[in-house]
Homo-oligomer: A and B are copies of this chain.
Amino acid sequence: MILFPGYTLVYGSRMHLTLQQMRLFEAVARHRSFTRAAQELHLTQPAVSIQVKRLEENAGSILVEHMGKRLFLTPAGHAVYEACVDILGRLRLLDQALDDLRADVRGPLELSVVTSAKYIIPPLLGAFIADHPAVTPRLIVTNRARVIERLADNRDDFVIMGQIPPELEVEAHPFLDNLLMIVAHPPPSSRRAARSCRPGLGRGALLGA
């Protein structure tokens, strides 16, 4: 039901509400100005205008009123503003949490690699350490037999070799065009590497960053 042209209020279905709309509206409400909000967010006025309009459509209520020169929030506008502050704050918290998780990649990292990987691994490991300075790796380059021995004794967080030994129940991830494998005991076996490195990283991305 419409009385004045342009006042179509859509009930329900606040499905296509957008985080960007919330960011813009929060800035608009804080500055009480579309122009300053646009400046703060490095956007143009029309972009802000249209997004606030869409937000009003999504909310099903008018949120701002222009009384002469100044801009006021309606009660619904205040409700939306509170929600925006809460939600954007929660997002910032999540950002922090994710950063902390990534920063928490720390501790000792024991690995041994076959000689043929001697020139492949150190640069990768170096880049990984650059991203995660709290990790203290100990890299042993040795022959295949000793790598298998260390693997069998569970002395490494993981090893890197070409052919996986069939007599061991291990988990292997091929990499570098299947020339090499990252080999480790499968988790449940609580390896040090698992405890120290896995938070925030997928198991397959032990060295990925």
Q: Is A203 an interface residue (CB 8 A)?
A: yes
A window 151-209: CB within 8 A of B:
173, 175, 187, 198-209
Q: Is A134 an interface residue (CB 8 A)?
A: no
- C-alpha spacing A59/B17, complex, angstroms: 20
Closest chain B CB from A157 CB (angstroms): 15
Closest chain B CB from A62 CB (angstroms): 3
Q: Is A50 an interface residue (CB 8 A)?
A: no
Contact pick for A90, options B60, B74, B87, B102, CB 8 Å: B87
**A65 partner residues in chain B, CB cutoff 8 A:** 202-204
Can you list 25 pairs linking A and B with CB atoms under 8 Å apart? A1-B124, A1-B127, A3-B207, A3-B208, A4-B204, A4-B208, A7-B205, A9-B208, A14-B95, A17-B19, A17-B91, A18-B18, A60-B98, A61-B98, A61-B201, A74-B199, A74-B202, A75-B101, A76-B98, A79-B101, A80-B94, A80-B98, A83-B93, A87-B90, A90-B90
Residues of chain A at the chain B interface (Cβ within 8 Å): 1-4, 7, 9, 14, 17-19, 59-62, 65, 67, 74-76, 79-80, 83, 86-87, 90-91, 93-95, 97-98, 101-102, 124, 127-128, 131, 173, 175, 187, 198-209
